[in-house]
């Protein structure tokens, strides 16, 4: 059962507010994120450490602290995929994608820049979303623990050099 495909729905919607200017997209939430009900719930994922370094704030401990940090820095989060078939949390196993309605979010928000967290999110965005929005995303290296060739310091430097934080 562990190595079998399952059809899975995202489980929670985008996180944004009226001040969001930056959208960071992942591919699809991990098993731990779906269980927690919020983005980057796997403690091994370095996303929150990277965002904390970029914003010069402490790493948030819980979901409410994460949301507050995102709001203070005008960051929205979502994933490119609304549902798919997947084995566990493996991006490489994703098939039968139903894309999220990112164009609708962009229409009803002030988001000006789109960033993708990893190659899978970037390629899926280019395939399913970019033709509808005509907005290119900036591809950032994945913060996933599976991306072991990128150490934390290198991730932080790359993200800092390529993401325009709007304070």
Alpha-carbon gap, residue 114 to 122, rounded angstroms = 10
74 occurs within a structural domain:
yes
20 occurs within a structural domain:
yes
Q: Across residues 76-87, what is the average pLDDT?
A: 91
40 occurs within a structural domain:
yes
> How far, in Å, are 39, 41, 85, 146 from residue 135 at the CA level?
23, 28, 27, 28
Amino acid 126: pLDDT: 96
Query: How does the average pLDDT of the chain come out, rounded?
Result: 91
CATH number of the structural domain spanning residue 99: 3.40.470.10
Domain with 122, as residue range(s), is 6-162
1 occurs within a structural domain:
no
167 occurs within a structural domain:
no
Amino acid 64: pLDDT: 97
39 occurs within a structural domain:
yes
Quote the number of domains for the chain.
1
pLDDT in tens, 107-125: 989 999 999 999 999 999 9
φ, ψ dihedrals at 69, nearest 5°: -60, -45
Identify the residue with better confidence: 85 or 102.
Answer: 102
Q: Across residues 52-77, what is the average pLDDT?
A: 96
Neighbour-count burial of 62, counting CB atoms closer than 10 A to its CB (0-12 exposed, 13-18 middle, 19+ buried)? exposed
167 pLDDT higher than 80:
no
166 pLDDT higher than 60:
no
120 occurs within a structural domain:
yes
Least confident range from 6-10, 36-40, 56-60: namely 6-10
99 occurs within a structural domain:
yes
What is the side-by-side strand order in the sheet with 81-86?
Answer: 6-9, 81-86, 95-99
């Amino acid at each position: 059962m562990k190595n079998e495909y399952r059809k899975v729905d995202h489980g929670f919607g985008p996180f944004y507010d009226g001040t969001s200017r930056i959208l960071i997209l992942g591919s699809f939430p991990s098993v731990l994120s779906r269980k927690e009900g919020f983005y980057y719930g796997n403690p091994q994922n370095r996303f929150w450490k990277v965002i904390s370094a970029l914003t010069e704030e402490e790493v948030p401990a819980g979901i409410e602290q994460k949301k507050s940090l995102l709001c203070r820095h005008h960051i929205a989060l979502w994933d490119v995929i609304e549902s798919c078939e997947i084995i566990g949390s493996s991006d490489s196993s994703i098939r039968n994608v139903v894309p999220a309605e990112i164009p609708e979010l962009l229409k009803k928000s002030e988001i000006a820049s789109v960033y993708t967290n990893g190659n899978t999110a970037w390629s899926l965005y280019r395939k399913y979303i970019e033709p509808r929005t005509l907005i290119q995303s900036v591809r950032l290296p994945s913060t996933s623990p599976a991306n072991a060739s990128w150490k934390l310091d290198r991730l932080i430097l790359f993200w800092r050099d390529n993401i325009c934080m709007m304070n």
